[in-house]
Homo-oligomer: A and B are copies of this chain.
Amino acid sequence: MIKNGNRIEELQIAYIGGGSRGWAWGLMSDLALSPELSGTVKLYDIDKEAARRNEIIGNRLTLLPESQGEWRYEAVDTLEEALRGADFVIISIVPGTFDEMASDVHTPEKYGIYQSVGDTVGPGGMIRALRVIPIYVQIAEAIKSFCPEAWVINYTNPMTLCTRTLYEVFPEVKAFGCCHEVFEVQKLLADMLADLKGITGIRRDEIKTNVLGINHFTWIDRAEYDGKDLLPLYKEFAQKYYKEGFTKQKKEHWMNQYFDSAHRVKFDLFLRYGIIAAAGDRHLAEFCGKAYLGSPEDIAYWKFNLTPISWRKENRIRLMEQSERMVNGDEPLKLKGSGEEGVLQIKALLGLGDLVTNVNIPNIGQMSGFPLDSVVETNAVLSQNRITPVAAGRLPAEVESLVLRHVANQETTLQAGLHQDTNLAFRAFSADPLVSIGVRDARDLMQEMLLNTKEYLPGWELG
């Protein structure tokens, strides 16, 4: 990497995963739209074909006339090839296939346990974590060997345990996890200002928020626009739309149907706890036991959706076909900003302008009341070659208690995953608020789920 004033050349990025496409193309666009940056992106995916298609698409995107940075994409065969010389490592993988994910999400339904996503906490998130931990152990060791000074950006879920595993294995790693869920809440606050105050055109990054918690169960205890406190307004907003929910008038898009909500869970949580729950309702609900996930009817009442794996499979086919068309030239390529912050973060870390945003990193004190070293999500200042979390303060006692039980479970899951320990795994599994079933059923359920995913659990003794 070479820095010439405000231009960075020969930057080297390792992209691990990305075969699932959406994320990768967004990043490619964002890179192409950054005049200050140029370099090479090495694509590594266990699905080599997917990596090769992305190579083709990336190299085409960079040739578009509106493309500003010069980038070369190169699919590689090994993790080592991707990592050697990397300045940045981006990780966005799927642990296992959608078949394993189907087990994560749907097996618990036999016991009346519904999960809207199944990739963070709950029985599904926990089993997914057990799959992801050995993969991240391997990645962490490779980073330690091949690019210990690189910055590592994680997008994989479960975010907390992916990031936590990297630090556990290689404590000096310069890694952080990124998630756009808080952004969506900032957008909601902007929509609120339009709805209640007629102030339109506000960008989500003009809404200033103090973020506390853990990924997908983050909270906002201060929010301001133009220096004014937004919490009293949010109370009004939550009360106004509590019953009906709030939906922004917008073009319907198939992609949104399973991810959208009417924010009723968020409103209910606000009215209960007095601060803003800051993630999508689908994610929030999974941390709250059966409160919003009692039954399919319950979920419909709260106006959010379960995300069936069948949809993910269909969507994957659509993306593959789209990828095919893009590779074949049947679909014109377009540069379009992703709205994600990945490239802004890279620029900040390269010294091209500080950025304050929310990231997932180990707790050095930014979350008072949380154990040190657990991975938390708060704002941080990203500046040249450094991330410094802000001191976010402390959650209200009742919210803190809700969050801390998940932190405890995640730490136990980490140890279970590192040591292939079924007993520890069950401590975490049975303590999840969604696993509110008899302990015998819980044992059976966990065993079934582990067996369904056993291919990805090397070293485990599974009966």
A residues contacting B by CB (< 8 A) are 3, 208, 210, 222, 224, 226-228, 268, 272-273, 288-292, 294-295, 298, 301, 350-351, 354, 356, 364-368, 379, 381, 383-386, 388-394, 397-398, 400-402, 404-405, 408-409, 411-412, 423, 426-428, 430-431, 433, 436-442
Contacts and interface: CB of A to CB of B under 8 A. Distances in A.
B290 A436 contact: yes
- Number of copies of this chain that the complex holds: 4
A289 B436 contact: yes
30 contacts: A208-B383, A208-B386, A224-B385, A226-B384, A227-B350, A227-B386, A268-B439, A272-B423, A272-B426, A290-B437, A291-B439, A292-B439, A294-B437, A294-B438, A354-B354, A364-B394, A365-B365, A365-B366, A365-B391, A365-B392, A365-B393, A381-B381, A388-B391, A389-B391, A391-B391, A401-B404, A401-B409, A402-B431, A405-B405, A436-B436
B224 A291 contact: no
Contact of A390 (B222, B350, B385, B389): B389
The residue among A226, A379, A390, A428 with the most chain B CB atoms within 10 A of its own CB is: A390
A168 to B, nearest CB: 15
Nearest to A295: B438
In the complex, the 8 A-B pairs of residues with the closest C-beta atoms, listed nearest first:
A436-B436, A227-B385, A401-B408, A294-B438, A366-B391, A291-B439, A365-B368, A227-B384
A228 B149 CA distance: 12
A291 B423 CA distance: 16
A116 B298 CA distance: 28
Given A210-B388, A398-B431, 14 more contacts: A222-B386, A288-B439, A291-B438, A298-B438, A301-B440, A356-B383, A364-B393, A365-B366, A388-B390, A389-B390, A390-B391, A397-B412, A401-B404, A402-B431
A402 B433 CA distance: 11
Contacts of A426: 272
A194 B290 CA distance: 45
Contacts of A408: 397-398, 400-401
Contacts of A273: 427
Contacts of A400: 408
A356 B384 contact: no
B427 A351 contact: no
